[in-house]
């Protein structure tokens, strides 16, 4: 959700009378919506407004800015944003796909959008934020809070933003925790200045800026923080109704690996290709797969940081029995965090369109499950090829 220029201008103009020339700016134009302000400049301006207003800390001011930013997003793109998910958990589990779609837009320049991963903890929604802009984590806390209040009409929300840690040189990790407050508690205004955890508590009235959503009616799942079905699903692996063998046959192109990227489970099709090499090459994920997309480092935390993005893997040289497979095969799918075993599941399907191409990569129609649309793509392609050949003969 970039950039913040328009929000910053409107917010500052409403908050305090600031001397823009002190920050190297002649004026603040609220319509300069794609102006890219440097993070250090934003921090300086927010620090100045916090000091001049005298009623909020720096982090609280950043969170307030995030809330104001989402109000503008709701006014202009409310219907589109609502289509991303039916509740807050689904929204932040799928917003990365929208980010990937608009990333190449010229208006967003070279900015890398943040990535989100959601989990639940004792009735709380925990949103893991991965970003290359650690100074803006409290700003994103305000955005996440406002999403719940404005987009999904969840009342009495508080947000807590943890200190970030740094799993890699490029990616910073912060944790944003949303929880419901006691509706009888005394919570007025948008910021609680006495809270040691720097929580925000929105007013119980509809926030200004949500008018564009009023005609859309309530959110499909009602004003609850977590979807109703979520609390009724077991998180114990022993309660699963599917065996490992059945899972491997049903999803023949899946891989499960641990924090050290050691493979612990393979789908039936990949097992046929990898098994002959395990005794000599081991079980390291990087030995058999290269990462094509997204462009991140091949390690556990980097995978987690993009867990809601589409992943494309390319195989290295495989063998099937005594026959070497020279052509690389691309697998397109997604990474799923397995909290119960602290592992990651990649589940995907081969990117092939022609029968000859499929055989050259060492796979057969029998390897592709019936539920996978790849079967239809290949068979329709062969049918079209046969029709063209028949027409040429005629």
3-state secondary structure at position 207: coil
d(C-alpha 266, C-alpha 254), whole Å = 6
Asked if residue 217 and residue 114 are part of one domain, the reply reads yes
The conformation of residue 284, written as its DSSP 8-state character, comes to B
H helices of the chain, where?
A: 5-15, 39-53, 58-82, 88-102, 137-146, 211-214, 244-250, 268-281, 285-288, 300-305, 355-360, 374-393
- Poorest-confidence range of 74-78, 194-198, 229-233, 241-245? 194-198
- 10 Å CB burial of residue 217 (0-12, 13-18, 19+) is exposed
Same domain, 246 and 224: no
User: What's the pLDDT score for residue 214?
Assistant: 44
Statement to judge: residues 224 and 245 lie in one domain = no
> Which pLDDT band, with edges at 50, 70 and 90, does 258 fall under?
very high
Task: Kindly state whether residues 191 and 256 are assigned to the same domain.
Answer: no
In a domain, 35, yes or no: no
Note if the bond before 162 is cis, omega within 30 degrees. Answer: no
Query: Quick count: other Cβ atoms within 10 Å of Cβ 20?
Result: 14
**Residues 89 and 222 reside in one and the same domain:** yes
Is 319 within a domain? Answer: yes
**359 confidence band (pLDDT: 50, 70, 90):** confident
In a domain, 259, yes or no: yes
Using one digit for the tens of pLDDT, what is the confidence trace for 59-106?
888 898 899 889 988 988 888 888 998 889 989 988 887 776 666 666
In a domain, 42, yes or no: no
Q: Is residue 20 part of a domain?
A: no
Question: 346: domain CATH number?
Answer: 3.30.450.260
Do 172 and 113 belong to one domain?
A: yes
Residues 157 and 260 in one domain: no
pLDDT per residue as tens digits for the range 98-149: 776 666 666 666 667 788 988 888 889 999 998 888 888 999 999 999 999 9
Q: Which of 204, 232, 260 is the last residue of a domain?
A: 232
Domain that holds residue 375: 238-392
| Domain's final residue, options 208, 232, 256 | 232
pLDDT at 197 over 70: no
Report which secondary-structure segment, H or E, holds 311: strand 310-315
In total, the chain counts a number of residues equal to 394
| Same domain flag for 299 and 224 | no
Cα 289 to chain centroid distance, Å, stands at 23
- Bridge partners, 325 (sequence order): 318
Task: List the single range of 187-201, 221-235, 246-260 with lowest mean pLDDT.
Answer: 187-201
For the sheet containing 124-131, what is the strand order?
115-121, 124-131, 172-180, 157-161
Sign of the torsion formed by the C-alpha atoms of 83, 86, 87 and 89: negative
Instruction: Say what the pTM is.
Output: 0.70
**79, 159 contact by CB (below 8 A):** no
Query: What CATH number does the domain containing 178 carry?
Result: 3.90.1520
Q: Of 232, 263, 294, which residue constitutes the final position of a domain? A: 232
In this structure, the answer to whether residues 193 and 220 fall within a common structural domain is yes
- Please state, in angstroms and rounded to a whole number, the distance separating the CA atoms of residues 49 and 32: 20
73, part of any domain? yes
Q: Is residue 25 part of a domain?
A: no
- Rounded average pLDDT over 151-157: 89
Task: Please check whether residues 199 and 306 belong to one and the same domain.
Answer: no
My answer on whether 102 and 200 are in the same domain is: yes
| 260 & 210 share domain | no
Residue 50 in domain: no
Number of folded domains that form the chain: 2
């Amino acid at each position: 959700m970039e950039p913040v220029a328009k929000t910053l201008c409107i917010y500052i103009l409403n908050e305090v009378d600031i001397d823009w020339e002190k920050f190297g700016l002649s004026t603040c134009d609220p319509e300069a919506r794609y102006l890219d302000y440097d993070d250090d400049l934003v921090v300086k301006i927010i620090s100045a407004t916090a000091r001049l207003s005298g009623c909020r800390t720096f982090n609280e001011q950043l969170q307030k800015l995030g809330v104001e930013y989402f109000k503008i997003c709701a006014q202009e793109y409310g219907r589109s944003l609502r289509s991303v998910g039916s509740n807050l958990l689904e929204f932040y589990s799928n917003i990365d796909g929208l980010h990937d779609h608009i990333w190449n837009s010229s208006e967003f320049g070279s900015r890398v959008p943040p990535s989100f991963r959601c989990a639940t903890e004792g009735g709380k929604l925990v949103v893991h934020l991965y970003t290359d802009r650690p100074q803006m984590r409290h700003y994103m806390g305000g955005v996440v809070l406002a999403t719940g209040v404005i987009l999904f009409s969840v009342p009495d929300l508080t947000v807590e933003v943890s200190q970030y840690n740094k799993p890699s040189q490029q990616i910073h990790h912060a944790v944003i925790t949303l929880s419901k407050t006691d509706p009888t508690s005394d919570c007025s205004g948008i910021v609680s200045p006495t809270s040691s955890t720097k929580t925000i508590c929105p007013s119980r009235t509809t926030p200004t800026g949500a008018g564009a959503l009023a005609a859309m009616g309530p959110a499909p799942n009602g004003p609850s923080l977590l979807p109703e079905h979520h609390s009724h699903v077991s998180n114990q692996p022993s309660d699963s109704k599917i065996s490992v063998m059945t899972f491997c046959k049903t999803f023949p192109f899946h891989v499960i690996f641990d924090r050290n990227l050691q493979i612990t489970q393979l789908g039936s099709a990949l097992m046929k290709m990898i098994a002959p090499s395990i005794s000599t090459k081991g079980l390291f994920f990087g030995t058999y797969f290269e990462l094509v997309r997204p462009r991140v480092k091949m390690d556990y935390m980097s995978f987690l940081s993009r867990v809601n993005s589409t992943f494309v893997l390319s195989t290295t040289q495989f063998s099937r029995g005594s026959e070497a497979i020279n052509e690389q095969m691309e697998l397109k799918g997604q990474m799923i965090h397995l909290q119960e075993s602290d592992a990651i599941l990649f589940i995907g399907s081969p990117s092939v369109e022609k029968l000859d191409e499929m055989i050259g990569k060492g796979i057969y129609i029998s390897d592709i499950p019936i539920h996978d649309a790849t079967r239809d793509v290949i068979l329709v392609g062969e049918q079209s090829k046969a029709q063209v050949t028949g027409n040429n003969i005629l």
